[in-house]
Structure 1
Amino acid sequence: MDEGNPPRATQIFADRLNSLIRMKAINGGGVTNEQIATELKADNPQLKVSGAYLSALRTGKRSRPSTELQIALARYFNVSITELMDIDGPPALDADQLNELGVRSIAMRAVGLDSDSLSTVAAVLDHVRRLQGLPEVDDQLNRPSGGRDISADG
């Protein structure tokens, strides 16, 4: 591999991020990396992002943004994680990303529960999502209403 060029997956993400920023600029005026970072942090104060980091992602100098940043960017641009991360297919969430999100911990607690108990757990999670202002999940599509992909399978 040419050391001057980023790996293909990194370049795909950089190209996609640049494309989304260009589309946002066309639809509503130009935005800087710093403005995007500020807006992302306004919605999620714990998010670790800066204009400089977004610049590094856009140029392919950095790769593998955190899962939280992926979700925040997908919401910011109103696209699915799949659309943001990989044009050719769904993103693969590895064990570290599932642990980072706390998903694995919740899933492990659900192992062995009967269907009635699983329905109760799903209802509780739906209620918590509503309390936090998150969209409802369409169980048939494994995505919140509005099209954002949330599953590891796409």
Structure 2
Amino acid sequence: MADKVDHLFRTVRSSRGEYTYEQVASEIRDAGGPTISAAYVWMLRNGKRDNPTMKHLEALASFFGVPAAYFFDDEVSRAVNEQLSLVAAMRDAGVRKIAMRASGLSSESLGTIVDMIERVRALEGLPEGADGSDAGDAASDGARRGHTPD
């Protein structure tokens, strides 16, 4: 549980950086969620508490723009983490430039570019890139709320 909460803090950020525990607790309360303190959020992130109520998990999930199943289902967690990684990569200026320049190219040309990128990743010893499959709208939900993965 702590690893998942920590991962959300590290990857889903405001325009000013990582959210504080007070920001998370305040926004959850302001949105009509359950009473939750900054200290309790800290304890969840650091493994000092590992059995939160479903209402608290749903509120955290909503805050970070992920489905509540993120905390229970490893397959959902994996898919959401892939999406968050992809969105985080798009924050990189070089990646954005490549994506913008590729807009409008044919499927065949895009496939060639993907093949070239995968080859360069292999040459640099990097793991295969995300396949871009749609595993839900968690990352886009977070982006709509002003969150940006790191």
TM-score, normalising length from structure 1? 0.45
TM-score, normalising length from structure 2? 0.46
**Which structure: greater helix fraction?**
2
